[in-house]
């Protein structure tokens, strides 16, 4: 096996490490090089905004495998190393030390990075983002002092950070320019249910409000809103979304979607990019989804695992048409939720609820204009998400009344 036949994975991420594992599980005995800019062994991110922030877990709980596992599986790790260029014609990548690594097949699993606020005071100590293990540890240590916390952004990360802060005894305010929590992903009706959950736990919510800047000299002391109010804060967490790390691919001439078209590295259902022998997986890939019949990009944990596995199989020449249904979960206070499906931005839909949200256990469904299920979620209704995914895959027109009736099994809707 020559160096030119090795498989190189750019991004020691969940997607990248999962792909390496899948390559070995499927019989690949040749070289695998896993390259990542972080110095830590590959890890997953959900525990960082859940158990770690709650002070229940250490960051090492997020680690996928120990060093011995990589040694035993002959996976070469190059951590603390950045790939600065890809040369598809030469089948080689250039590292930040100037050296090159040749490849037979290449997987780009560069993930995404947080969007940063460009406002006065954004660099003040005490203004934090939550993406890495180090950032999670810094926040959980800070929570122990019970500071006044302001969370900028009522998305998934913002709400999980707010939930953990309240459970740790902090005073919490959430500032969000949209009209309610999670409005962009769940819509107004269901988003308001999550907003009410946080109100019931003592969080102050300020919707329809942007951030103009952060107050303070040597550390943050407040958040100045678009309405002119200054909210006192000893700790600020900014959660305003992420953006895929597509620059490396774009610089190499690999097709990348514009932000207007959803961003991401463009691939077919087999996760193969426009460059020969180059594939993509994880947050960064925007692939043609066979079930939906349209391109899709997903930023959640399950997608990193699923696309990592599918990309590995495609690299090995297996027939791959990646059609996994997007899946997401969250834990906030005593709420456990699982969500499956995808509702494209700008799509008209009907929301159907099954069960009483006031009870703390219910399901929600998003139907298109033809009454076909786009997505569904459960709240504290365990064992139902497989049936939700089955309904999505069926593409059948649903009877709204039967869908809303808890006495009727989902399989019989």
CATH code for the domain in which residue 370 is found: 3.30.390.30
Please give the share of the chain, as a percent, with pLDDT higher than 70.
100
Q: What is the mean pLDDT of residues 307-333?
A: 97
- Residue 43 in any domain: the answer is yes
Q: Which pLDDT value is given to residue 1?
A: 53
Residue whose structure tokens are 């791959």: 320
Could you tell me the CA-to-CA distances from 25 to 20, 121, 304 in Å, in that order? Answer: 9, 49, 17
CATH code for the domain in which residue 257 is found: 3.50.50.60
Residues 131, 149 within the same domain? yes
pLDDT digits (tens, 9 = 90+) for 100-123: 999 999 999 999 999 999 999 999
Examine the fold and report which residue of 280, 315, 350 is the final residue of a domain before the chain moves on: 315
Residues 204, 351 within the same domain? no
Residues 121, 211 within the same domain? yes
Q: Specify whether the CB–CB gap between 353 and 342 falls below 8 A.
A: no
Q: Are strands 265-267 and 285-289 parallel, antiparallel or unpaired?
A: parallel
Q: What is the mean pLDDT of residues 295-324?
A: 97
pLDDT digits (tens, 9 = 90+) for 275-297: 999 999 999 999 999 999 999 99
Q: Which pLDDT value is given to residue 239?
A: 97
Tokens for 205? 């919510």
pLDDT digits (tens, 9 = 90+) for 176-187: 999 999 999 999
Residues 352, 275 within the same domain? no
Give the range of the structural domain holding residue 224, as residue numbers without chain letter.
116-240
Examine the fold and report which residue of 181, 207, 240 is the final residue of a domain before the chain moves on: 240
Residues 230, 129 within the same domain? yes
d(CA 131, CA 45): 7
- Residue 324 in any domain: the answer is no
Our count of domains for the chain comes to 3
Residues 214, 254 within the same domain? no
Examine the fold and report which residue of 214, 240, 266 is the final residue of a domain before the chain moves on: 240
d(CA 27, CA 57): 35
Residues 382, 307 within the same domain? no
d(CA 106, CA 98): 19
Of the candidates 130, 321, 124, 373, the one whose C-alpha atom is nearest the C-alpha of residue 238 is 130
Q: How confident is the model at residue 336 (pLDDT cuts 50, 70, 90)?
A: very high
Q: What is the mean pLDDT of residues 232-259?
A: 97
Residues 231, 259 within the same domain? no
Report the chain's mean pLDDT, rounded to a whole number: 97
- Residue 329 in any domain: the answer is no
Residues 227, 121 within the same domain? yes
**pTM for the whole structure:** 0.96
- Residue 214 in any domain: the answer is yes
Q: Which pLDDT value is given to residue 205?
A: 98
Could you tell me the CA-to-CA distances from 358 to 87, 197, 201 in Å, in that order? Answer: 56, 10, 14
Residues 248, 100 within the same domain? yes
- Residue 326 in any domain: the answer is no
Q: How many CB atoms lie within 10 A of CB 208?
A: 12
Of the candidates 234, 166, 157, the one whose C-alpha atom is nearest the C-alpha of residue 200 is 166
H-assigned helices in 266-398: 301-315, 385-394
Q: Specify whether the CB–CB gap between 6 and 30 falls below 8 A.
A: yes
Residue 76 has what DSSP assignment?
A: E
- Cα R_g (the chain), whole angstroms: 22
Q: Which pLDDT value is given to residue 2?
A: 67
- Maximal CA-CA distance, the chain: 65
Q: Which pLDDT value is given to residue 260?
A: 87
Q: How confident is the model at residue 261 (pLDDT cuts 50, 70, 90)?
A: confident
Q: How many CB atoms lie within 10 A of CB 135?
A: 16
Task: For the sheet with 204-207, list strands across it.
Answer: 127-129, 235-238, 148-152, 171-176, 204-207
Query: Is it the case that residue 161 has pLDDT exceeding 90?
Result: yes
Q: What is the mean pLDDT of residues 19-24?
A: 98
- Residue 322 in any domain: the answer is no
Q: How confident is the model at residue 3 (pLDDT cuts 50, 70, 90)?
A: confident
Instruction: Name 70's Cβ contacts closer than 8 Å, sequence gap at least 6.
Output: 34, 41, 77
- Residue 65 in any domain: the answer is yes
Rounded (10°) angle between helices 301-315 and 14-25 = 40
Residues 249, 108 within the same domain? yes
Residues 139, 103 within the same domain? no
- Residue 51 in any domain: the answer is yes
d(CA 230, CA 109): 40
Tokens for 306? 């699923």
Of the candidates 161, 164, 199, 165, the one whose C-alpha atom is nearest the C-alpha of residue 180 is 199
């Amino acid at each position: 096996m020559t160096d030119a036949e090795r498989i190189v994975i750019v991004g020691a991420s969940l997607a990248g490490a999962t792909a390496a594992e899948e390559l070995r599980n499927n019989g690949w005995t040749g070289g695998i090089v896993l390259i990542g800019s972080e110095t830590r062994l590959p890890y997953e991110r959900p525990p960082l905004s859940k158990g770690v922030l709650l002070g229940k877990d250490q960051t090492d709980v997020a680690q996928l495998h120990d060093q011995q596992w990589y040694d035993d599986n002959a996976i070469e790790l190059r951590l603390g190393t950045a790939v600065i260029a890809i040369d598809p014609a030469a089948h080689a990548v250039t590292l930040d030390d100037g050296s090159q690594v040749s490849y037979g097949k290449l997987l780009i699993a560069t993930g995404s990075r947080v969007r940063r606020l460009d406002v006065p005071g954004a660099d003040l100590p005490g203004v934090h983002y939550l993406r890495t293990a180090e950032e999670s540890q810094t926040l959980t240590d800070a929570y122990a002092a019970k500071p006044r916390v302001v969370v900028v952004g009522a998305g998934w990360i913002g709400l999980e950070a707010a939930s953990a802060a309240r459970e740790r005894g902090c005073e919490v305010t959430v500032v969000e320019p949209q009209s309610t929590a999670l409005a962009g992903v769940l819509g107004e009706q269901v988003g308001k249910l999550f907003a009410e959950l946080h109100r019931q736990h003592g969080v102050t919510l300020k919707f329809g409000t942007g951030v103009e800047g952060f107050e303070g000299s040597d550390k943050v002391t407040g958040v100045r809103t678009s309405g002119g109010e200054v909210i006192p804060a000893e700790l600020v967490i900014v959660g305003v979304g992420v953006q895929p790390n597509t620059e490396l691919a774009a610089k190499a001439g690999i097709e990348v979607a514009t932000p207007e078209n959803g961003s991401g590295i463009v691939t077919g259902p087999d996760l193969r990019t426009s460059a020969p022998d180059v594939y993509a997986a994880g947050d960064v890939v925007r692939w043609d989804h066979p079930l939906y019949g349209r391109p899709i990009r997903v930023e959640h944990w399950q997608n990193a695992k699923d696309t990592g596995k599918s990309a590995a199989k495609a690299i090995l020449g297996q027939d791959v048409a990646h059609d996994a249904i997007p899946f997401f979960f969250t834990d906030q206070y005593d709420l456990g939720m699982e969500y499956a499906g995808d509702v494209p931005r700008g799509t008209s839909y009907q929301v159907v609820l099954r069960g009483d949200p006031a009870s703390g256990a219910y399901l929600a469904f998003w139907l298109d204009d033809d009454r076909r299920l786009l997505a569904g979620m459960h709240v504290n209704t365990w064992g139902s998400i497989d049936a939700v995914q089955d309904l999505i895959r069926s593409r059948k027109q649903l009877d709204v009344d039967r869908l809303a009736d808890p006495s009727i099994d989902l399989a019989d809707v």
